[in-house]
Chains A and B, each alone.
Chain A
Amino acid sequence: MEVQNAAHRDANQVSVRLGAEELSKRYGNIEANRDVSIAVAPGEIHAIVGENGAGKSTLMRMLQGIEQPDSGRIIVDDQIVSLSGPQRAFALGIGMVHQEFMLAPDLTLLENLVLGDEPVYRAFGAASRINWPAALESGERLAREAAAHVDWSRTVLTTPVHIQQFVEIIRLLRRGTRILILDEPTAVLAPQQVEDLFDLLRKLREDGTTILFISHKLKEVMALADRVTVIRRGEVRYSSPVAETDTDTIAGHMVGGLDTPVATARPTSASKIETDDVVLDVQMLTTPIVEKSHPLRGVDLHIGRGEIVGLAGVSGNGQNELVECLVGLRDSDGGTVSLAGQDITHLSNQHRRALGIGYVSADRRHEGLALQASVEANVIAGSQRKAPVSKGGFFDRKAMRQVAEKRLAFVDVRYGVLNDAAGDLSGGNQQRLVFAREIAADPSLLIVSQPTRGVDLVGIAAIHAILSDFRNSGGSVLLVSEELDEILALSDRILVMADGKIVGEMNAAEADIGTIGKLMVMQGGGDG
């Protein structure tokens, strides 16, 4: 590339404002980024799309100087730069708006705006007096330019999220940011606020700001971006001007094809669902808007006896929130959940478990298992007050050991001794351990989230077999997975979730990856 000898160029003639060349980053065994190259032209809005865990965040962290790449180069204004830390990136004009805003909650918006670069009457080092009228004036001017109305005297705590975001953005601009990176900026916004944000970003583009926009909502990408780059499993899979592509193409590259071999085939229609035998019934379930989560906007679904219902969707569209609501680990603010006809909307997790809900968490390392505790403790947990483990308030150690061994053998968990820490097991065995515990409680409904994440092929086959067996013996399963192949292989019925709602439903027999993928990334048309 001729990038190196482009030493003295006018800023207007720069061809790459921000770029990456063959960046790679590895965390232990996981290759988070492999030879990632992107080029963002000046004054461009460049969208990076990909599922959670695809490697977008790693790339952004490297572009911001928070992480150092293992190999590869970062380009700013056609020059190779070394981003030794976030300060260096900031000095070069790279500013990032994180999902979690970097604002001091107890200070006013004006104080936050000038924090770190306060206008002063006369520079006297630490003794300088802040020129608040000048600060307010600059705030008002910036707000006026953006056609926004901001009450600068409010504290961040009492300010709505979209205004916080606005302040965060113009704070960066005020301090010289020319390259703005936004990490899923619309996740916390209502539809009208999304429009306002886009107007602001378009205006910034006109003024020459370069914008890197991370999203997984294709509708937004099509509406806003000039160019789109798709990242999947740590690699750039696709890049194109938005004008020359369409959502189907992007969606196809995002969710990928059949690149995971699947070990189990879907059982035939041996298990017929009795429509009146509903195990789980969810109606109009909603959750409040909380930072770092996607709210549910009215979820309706039901699961019959002896049925695996697959829930597909790009991660971060409310699946985790739905799962947590169903198992009782998150509060809902509307709608009902009933289990076998009984209203359980306001019951605790403890109570729901007693009524027959089992839960395999997507976060195996923190929620599915206590990694430092023994294999035995992990497989017994939840049954510690029941006979024969506990008799008259005391443990029967021998019975406990027998129960543990029986449970572990049932799903063939490979372990050394019962005293080994659960964290010492392989990923697949850890997940089997979770299943061993959850199935032992004889639930009527298993809520299973990302059951094969980080599990090798043998483990995947075993876990799929466990789920099929469970269903064949009359159990019901809600299977949430980012792996479409897994959902297609196991489910009797498939639901697609997007933007906190169920946007599509189909029988597994008539489902195909293309249709599901399209439903996953199209945002349901915005009809409330």
Chain B
Amino acid sequence: MAETATIDRPQLSLWLEKGIGLAFPFLVALLVASLVLLLIGENPIDVFSLMFAESFGTQRRIAATLSAATPLLFTGIATAICFRSGVFNVGVEGALVIGGLCAAFIGFTLPAAMSVTLIPLAFGFAAIVSAIWLYIPGVLLARYEVDEVVSTLMLNFVAFGITGYLVNGPLLSEISGNNVTPLVHEAAQLRRLLPPSTLHAGFLVGVALVVIYGIWTRRTPSGFESALVGQSKRFSSAVGISIPTTIVLVMVLSGVISGMGGASHALGQLHRFADGFSPGYGFTGMAVALLGRNNALGIFLGAVLFGALASAGTTVQLFSDIPLDIVNIIEGTVMIFAVVELGRITLLRRRSGG
């Protein structure tokens, strides 16, 4: 029984350590931003409190923050699920875009009479296509040791090319000018949670996925196995875990989540697919995953943080003479220091002998 007492204490310190790890890049970013603000003669405290107010001050601002965080929940998990197995998948962006187009396609081509069944169909179709999309680099890595960084990065450009062609050609809307598909049927649009904000039901899907991800990592054999593969490939194969199977599994899961993220953004935010569908949600998702240390709660907080920065950025310069660039500086610095963790991951990959 003395055992149980000792189990809790280190876990508390572990949490503390995790908390500091999560906050560290953000604190450094605030410091850097403060320096810049002082240099241009602004009071950092004033600016930060304005930014805080703009992202969390009122219910509407909170809704805007969560709305901006929504795609990052998906891309954060999609990235983390691969990173924790040591699979350096940078193709979430492309899979998200492909998923968005697939969902929109279902949403405006199938008959409107199908009503709300359009939504699960669109999500499912997007998930399947994006899963196949990332299955390809997964198999290439697992079978033929094709470097996943190169293959997934290149697939992003393929995704931009395909979707760009389709929205400018075959799927171009006849009534709304350039580079967009027609709007999806009203029944296929995700409900807005707090109108007039754009926060939509996709946020709830994202939160549900974060919870499922948390359960998967901690409570299931395959979550356990994929974490072990990330810790040590040689150990994992020596205890009978198939490395190729695990790699393909996490890539496919990453594709499913990316696809659903694309569907959520298409059906909930834009109600269509448009060229420039994602301003880099997949890449910000990498920062979110690294900042959150692949931990479910950490990813949620990381997504909200980047959502807050995005929503504060859009309004802060309307109400003050602070340049929008200060938000970019904070975002950039957070990413750099989150990437410090990324350096650690790639180092581990080398040491475990790839």
Contact = CB atoms under 8 A, between A and B. Distances in A.
Contacts of A284: none
Contact of B234 (A353, A366, A385): A366
Contacts of B237: 329, 349
Counting from the closest, the 6 A-B pairs by CB-CB distance are A382-B239, A350-B240, A370-B232, A384-B221, A370-B231, A370-B235
Interface stretch (A134-142, A212-220, A393-401, A481-489): A393-401
Contacts of B227: 373, 377
A368 interface: yes
Interface in A362-404: 363, 366-373, 377, 380-382, 384-385, 390, 393-395, 397
26 contacts: A329-B237, A348-B242, A349-B237, A363-B234, A366-B353, A368-B238, A370-B231, A370-B232, A372-B232, A377-B224, A377-B227, A380-B224, A381-B235, A381-B236, A381-B239, A382-B239, A384-B221, A385-B221, A390-B220, A394-B219, A395-B220, A397-B219, A417-B7, A418-B7, A419-B7, A419-B11
Interface in B236-256: 236-242
Contacts, number: 81
Contacts of A380: 224
A118 B353 CA distance: 34
B221 A366 contact: no
A23 interface: no
Nearest to B231: A370
Interface of B: 3, 6-7, 10-11, 14, 215, 218-221, 224-225, 227-228, 231-232, 234-242, 352-353
B215 to A, nearest CB: 8
Contact of B235 (A327, A369, A418): A369
- Which label, helix, strand, loop or mixed, suits the secondary structure of the B interface? helix
B234 A367 contact: yes
A367 B238 contact: yes
B221 A370 contact: no
Given A348-B242, A393-B220, A419-B11, A368 B225 contact: no
A361 interface: yes
Nearest to A353: B240
A327 B3 CA distance: 37
Interface of A: 327, 329, 348-350, 353-354, 359, 361, 363, 366-373, 377, 380-382, 384-385, 390, 393-395, 397, 416-420, 437
Contacts of B352: 366
Contacts of B224: 377, 380, 384, 395
Contacts of A394: 215, 219-220
Contacts of A382: 239-241
Contacts of B10: 416-417, 419-420
A417 B3 CA distance: 8
Nearest to A350: B240
